[in-house]
Structures are given as C-alpha cells and as structure tokens.
Structure 1
Amino acid sequence: MDRTDYLIVLTGGPGVGKTALLAEFQKQGFTIVQEDARRIIREQMETGGDALPWKNKLHYAQLMLDASCISYKNQIIKSPRQYIFFDRGIPDTLAYIAMENLIFETELLQEAKLLRYHRKVFILPPWADIYENDDERKQTLQEAEDTFKVMKDTYEKLGYKTITVPQASIEQRARFILERLNPKD
C-alpha cells in the first residue's frame, strides 16, 4: 500500500459527530489528527486576532490552508503502517474557499490539491438530533447542510470516492468505516 492509503479523512459540515467518532478511533489505538479550524478560531479569539470566519474570512482561510498542509506533511513523513484519521482534510479548506468566493493564488491552490489522502473519504451528513452551536460553531443547521453538499462536491471533483457515514451509534459508525477500508475493493 502507498503511504497515502493510510491517511483517512473524516469530513462533513459542522456538528455532525466527527469529534466523537475520532475519539472512538483513538480509543481503538489509531492515531488521529485534530482539525485546525477550531484551534485557529480559539487562538484568534484569545489573542484578539481577526482571522475568524465571521471577521476576516481570507485571513482565516490562509491560516487554515497553511495549518492543514503542515498537519498533512507531519503525518506523511512518518511512513505510517496503520490508519491515521484526520478530522477534515485539505480539500475542506478548498471547499471553504469556494463557498466564500475567496481569491487565492492559483499556484498555492494547485499545490494543495497535490497532497493526497486515501481515495475513500468518509463524509458525515447533517444530523439535526445532535447539532449544537457553541462559541466556535456559529453556523445554522441549514448552513451545515449547504457545507455538506459543497464538501462532497469538492472531494469528488478532486477524484475521491465519498462514502456517506450513516447516522448511527459511534461504535456502528466506526465499524462501518473500518469495514469499507478493505484494500481489495
């Protein structure tokens, strides 16, 4: 298997249960890579910075893209031998850039598209029963549904096969994903 075959992306709009699912994978002994967006928002709020999705979207997207590329490169150089689960991937930032109609250097975007993950990307759909807002998550459920569609489309345009994770218990979701990572299909 290629090194990228070990890099598994869990994606979807906000509030769909990615964090709980990643905690389950960590409990099972897998390495997880936390998303950079929440960390950036927290840091910006603590320091009075403007790189926030409700203030300076371009600056926020730049920090997210840089951080996502660094997180990716930190994992790929380790020559992984077991699955590493990412809470979002670089294409999530590309989807955000597209949704917000932000202008980025074409060369920078092309470089980001070259950093590849496993060909199967697991996308969690909006789920009204578990969706909650907080200080860092200000989107409405409708915005979460719109985000889901754009992310799915972005990954598919980049040649990934998106697999929708069913709304089920954390354990069932984890089992669903692991069963579909069989390299024979």
Structure 2
Amino acid sequence: MLSDRFILLTGCSGGGKSTLLSVLAERGLATISEPGRRIVADELAGDGRALPWVDVQAFARRAVALAISDLEAARHFDGLVFFDRGLIDAAVALEHSGGQKAKETLGNYRPYAQRVFIAPPWQELFVGDAERRHDFDMAVQEYHRISRMLDDLGHTVSVLPKVSLSERADIVLSECGVLSP
C-alpha cells in the first residue's frame, strides 16, 4: 500500500519540521517540502491574492490542491517518502478558515502511514519571517487543531522530542524501521 510509504511530519509552525526534513534529505531519503511555504513564495512573486494573511481560504484551497499533487508525484518514488506538512494540515486550515470540514475534504482518502510524527510547540525555535507572519500563540492553536484531527482520524502520533536534529532524525528513522534502535 502506497500510504504505508508516505510519512507525515506535521505540528507546530517553527517546531523544526523543515529542518528535520532537510536532514532526512541529506541522508538520501525522498522528501516533499511544505506546500504552504511554496505557495507563499509563489504568491509573493505573483499577485499575492492567495497569501494566508490576505485570503486564508484561497491559500488553504491551494494548499489542498498542492498536497494532492504532491501525493500523486510521490507515487513515483521508491521507498519511504517524508512530507513536511500535507493534505491533513491543508484540510484543517481550510476548515479553520470557514471552508469545508476537514473530514469532508479528506473523504475516505488515507494518504499517509498510520504513524505520524508531530513537532510540538518549541518557542526557542519559533521565528517569524516574511513567509511566517503569525505569532507563536497562533502556531500553538494550529498545533492543537492538527493534533485533534490526527486523533479523530485514528493516526498513531509520535511527538518529536526537543532534542538535536540528528537525534530527531534517528528517532524518526528508527520508528520507521529504517535505522536500528
């Protein structure tokens, strides 16, 4: 089953997901970068109508479409594929923006492996920038929305500990059966 190969890294903005993904890529694993960051970069270079601080619902709809496209593209990779955020995150964002309920967006689609890795709020890592304009409190609220949805969907959630990147990568790979504990 393809979804068994698709590993979701999700959680709090600024919790170290993208940096962890970079370490996994450096170790030779297939990775898919965060849809939201790619959309923001594209919108900043274009007309900016689907920026999350301009039209959060348009942004979330684009994130859903891009996450689905990422899943289709990942079918062509061999082995495990690690996703920095994805369809579940986008569906939660769409619902939070007043759009369709997340479970309706997801339907019967179970795109990721049962085990999902979640980065908890980590204020010392959180940094706002031109692409991340929300504050830490908003990031924590988002974390809780995603956590509830993962529980509702029946995923097994592994909370990433606040340790070094190398240790985090080793933990993820060990839990995925790629690295001996």
TM-score by shorter chain over 0.5: yes
Asked if structure 1 preserves the Cα contact closer than 8 Å seen for 2:88 and 2:106, the reply is no
Residue equivalent to 1:84? 81
CA shift, 1:57, in A, is 1.4
CA contact under 8 A between 2:21 and 2:82: conserved in structure 1? yes
Runs of 4+ in 1 over 6 A off after TM superposition: 105-108
Displacement of 1:109: 1.1
- Following the alignment from structure 1 to structure 2, what is the Cα–Cα distance between the partners of residues 169 and 65? 31
Cα RMSD of the aligned pairs, angstroms, is 1.9
- Alpha-carbon distance in structure 2 between the residues aligned to 1:50 and 1:174: 36
Q: State how far apart, in whole Å, the 2-side matches of 1:89 and 1:160 are.
A: 14
Q: Does 1:97 align with 2:75?
A: no
Cα 1:126–1:66 change in 2 (3 A) is same
TM-score when scaled to structure 2? 0.91
Return 5+ residue gaps in structure 1 as ranges: none
- Segments of structure 2 that go 5 or more residues without pairing to the other structure are none
Instruction: Map 1:15-54; keep pairs closer than 5 Å.
Output: 15-54=14-53
State the TM-score, normalized to the length of structure 1: 0.89
- State percent identity of aligned pairs: 25
1:156 aligns with 2:151: yes
Aligned length: 178
Residue aligning to 2:55: 56
Selected match of 1:145 from 115, 130, 140: 140
> What secondary structure does 1:114 align onto?
coil
CA distance in 2, matches of 1:145, 1:151: 10
Q: Does 2:6 align with 1:7?
A: yes
CA distance in 2, matches of 1:144, 1:54: 14
Question: What residue is the counterpart of 1:179 in the other structure?
Answer: 174
1:14–1:139: 8 Å Cα contact kept in structure 2? no
Compute the displacement of 1:107 (Å): 9.7
Q: Name the CA shift for 1:9/1:109 in 2 (closer, same or farther; >3 Å).
A: same
With over 3 angstroms needed to count, the CA separation of the structure-2 counterparts of 1:24 and 1:57, relative to structure 1, is same
Q: Deviations over 1:88-108 (max 9, x none)?
A: 1200011112322x2238996
